[in-house]
Amino acid sequence: MLAYTLRRLLLIIPTLLCILVVNFLIVQAAPGGPVEQAIARVQGMGPTGGIGGGGGEVAATGGISRGAQGLDPALVEAIKHQYGFDRPLHERLWLMLTHYAQLDFGSSFFRGATVTGLILQKLPVTISLGLWATLITYLISIPLGIRKAVLHGSRFDVWSSTVIIIGYAIPAFLFAILLIVVFAGGSYWSWFPAQGLFSDDFASLSPFGKLRDYLWHLVLPVSALVIGGFATLTILTKNSFLNEIGRQYVVTARAKGLSEQRVLYGHVFRNAMLLVVAGIPQALIEVFFAGSLLIETIFGLDGIGRMSYEAAVSRDYPVVFGTLFLFTLFGLLIKLVGDLCYTLVDPRIDFSARSA
């Protein structure tokens, strides 16, 4: 297993390199880069120069030359130098890669802070959402899926499947809006806060009060994140157990007089959970990176997902590539951990016989 793990870790390096290079080349062709936005602001073409401002008003091809008409060439060159666009493409790429190899992600073009500082500032929000949503999803879905498999075809299985299908059919962002309307003072009750992760008087609260306030603010956004993953994981767990319950080794175990609990959790669980464990990396990636963007926006949470989107819109390239690097690295490491978790569920799996 150690050799397999080392091979996978080494494979992360060329994977990261390829993803960064491809995205770097794609970004260079995107219209409205930081230089074009700065020129537009100087000429009064763009109302804002920060998040989401004026980026699409200059074409991708020849945008700098057309947008810079009437400006002092020295000013244009100063703008290019400010954002590092006075260097050739290959030089900028090499400079970025060498800095990233040292985990130096540079500074934001528009936020006046280092990319590392911004990520550390936003990370607690995203981790709070992702970890709580994943933990609650698995704590509910796995026992429920096992129960549905054991009681397959019963009333419990039918009505719970109905609830799960409805939950799966509702998009997370729509469910989030529904929660705000019903429970956050939209039209009915005002039980939970609709925005932010803390109250205004958070600093003056007692330690227990801070914990309560923090958890109270998480109820609605975490519930919105759980709804989709909960349905998918429950069905996956049920189908995995149903597939294993009908196998010959289960019939043999029952014929030997083993109790149903022993058969279910001593034999079936180990094999059925392999598919569930295989889904952990994808579930974590979706919760942390895909699902968090809309939820953070709707509930006014200042996390990495929201920051990455705003950076992409404003062409804040250091933030875009810094978060891309960390997201990709995190995703690859999660996939590796998911593979290694197989051995916890089924020690018979031998990674030494596998290639990276």
CA distance 131 to 330: 14
Residues 91 and 122 in one domain: no
pLDDT given at position 356: 43
What is residue 107's three-state secondary structure?
strand
20 found inside a domain: no
pLDDT at 279: 66
- Final residue belonging to a domain, choices 72, 104, 136: 104
Same domain membership, residue 153 and residue 83? no
Q: Determine the structural domain holding residue 124 and report its residue range.
A: 115-353
- DSSP line for 220-280: HHHHHHHHHHHHHHHHHHHHHHHHHHTSHHHHHHHHTT--HHHHIIIIIHHHHHHHHHHTH
Q: Kindly tell me the sign of the dihedral angle through the C-alpha atoms of 260, 262, 268, 272.
A: positive
Query: Rounded to an integer, what is the distance from CA 281 to the centroid of its chain?
Result: 11
Give the end of a domain, one of 85, 104, 123: 104
Are residues 207 and 344 both part of a single domain?
A: yes
Indicate if 199 and 65 belong to the same structural domain. no
In a domain, 26, yes or no: no
Q: How far apart are the first and last CA of the chain?
A: 11
Which amino acid is present at 141? S
* Whether 59 and 121 share a structural domain: no
The count of residues in the chain is 356
Each residue's pLDDT expressed in tens, for the chain with a length of 356 residues: 677 778 888 888 888 889 888 888 887 777 667 777 777 766 665 444 443 333 333 333 344 444 555 566 777 777 777 777 777 888 888 888 888 888 888 888 878 788 888 888 888 888 888 888 888 888 888 889 888 888 888 899 899 888 888 877 877 778 888 888 888 876 677 888 888 777 878 888 888 888 888 888 888 888 888 876 778 788 888 888 888 887 888 888 888 877 777 878 777 877 777 777 766 666 666 666 655 677 888 888 888 888 888 888 878 888 888 888 888 888 788 778 777 776 666 666 666 555 44
Whether 126 is covered by a domain: the verdict is: yes
Beta bridge partners of 184: 190
Residue 109 lies in a domain: no
- pTM summary value: 0.71
Contact between 316 and 241 (Cβ < 8 Å): no
Pair 243, 343 in one domain: yes
Give the pLDDT confidence score for residue 46 in this predicted structure. Answer: 45
In a domain, 4, yes or no: no
Residues 283 and 334 in one domain: yes
In a shared domain, residues 181 and 71: no
Residue 217 structure tokens? 């603010």
Q: Are 356 and 8 in contact (CB under 8 A)?
A: yes
pLDDT at 291: 59
CATH of the domain at 338: 1.10.3720.10
Count of domains in the chain? 2
Asked if 203 and 63 sit in the same domain, the reply is: no
- The answer as to whether 17 is a domain residue is no
